[in-house]
Amino acid sequence: MSLYNQLFGVDPLAEYYLRVIGLKRESIPCFRDCYLWCEKTGELRICLYARIGGNNRKDYRTALETLSRNMYWLSDTDDDFDPTFCIIEFSIPDDCRDDIESLISTGEAVMAKVPAERWRQLIDKLKKGDVNDPEVKRALEIGDKIFAQVDNGQKVIKV
């Protein structure tokens, strides 16, 4: 499991959002998350977060081209926090809009923070050192596992 997913998990409705735009998780290389996001204009988007941005793009050109041909594809940009990831935005199909808005109004679906913001908030919390904060505690536990492997001389670190 990736460090991102150990720290932040995956949106509980990720599989549903993927189905809405006609995708399957296993067809997306380096998949990390799929979540709802609201554009500054108020327009809802389904966002796919995958480690296929930046210098990784050349290795995943075919996958990126396939995703860009999706009828709901709007754009893809490298993450501004870690450009080896990209955020691919999709429109919400008209026939699913009411269902998704209903999930939001009942609290089943939530607007996610963009990954860069999640990383910044976690780093700020780590700097403050509140070991009672569940996110800080989880991050420190993951860090301990990583450093234990380094201390044991392992060359391949399993996160």
pLDDT digits (tens, 9 = 90+) for 77-90: 999 999 999 999 99
> Using an 8 Å Cβ cutoff, are 91 and 45 in contact?
yes
Helix pair angle (115-128, 134-151), 10° resolution: 80
Specify the pLDDT at position 57.
96
Distances (CA, A) of 15 to 21, 48, 159: 10, 11, 23
Of 7-16, 132-141, 145-154, the one with minimum mean pLDDT is 145-154
Nearest to 63 by CA among 98, 97, 30: 30
| Domain locations in the chain as residue ranges | 3-112, 119-151
Range 116-124 contact pairs with CB under 8 angstroms and sequence separation of 24 or more: 116/79, 116/80, 116/81, 116/82, 118/8, 119/81, 119/82, 120/81, 122/7
pLDDT interval class at 111 (50, 70, 90): confident
pLDDT interval class at 146 (50, 70, 90): confident
Specify the pLDDT at position 41.
76
**Which fold is adopted by the domain 3-112?**
Phosphorylase Kinase; domain 1 (3.30.200)
Both tokens assigned to 135: 């996110």
Both tokens assigned to 51: 């480690």
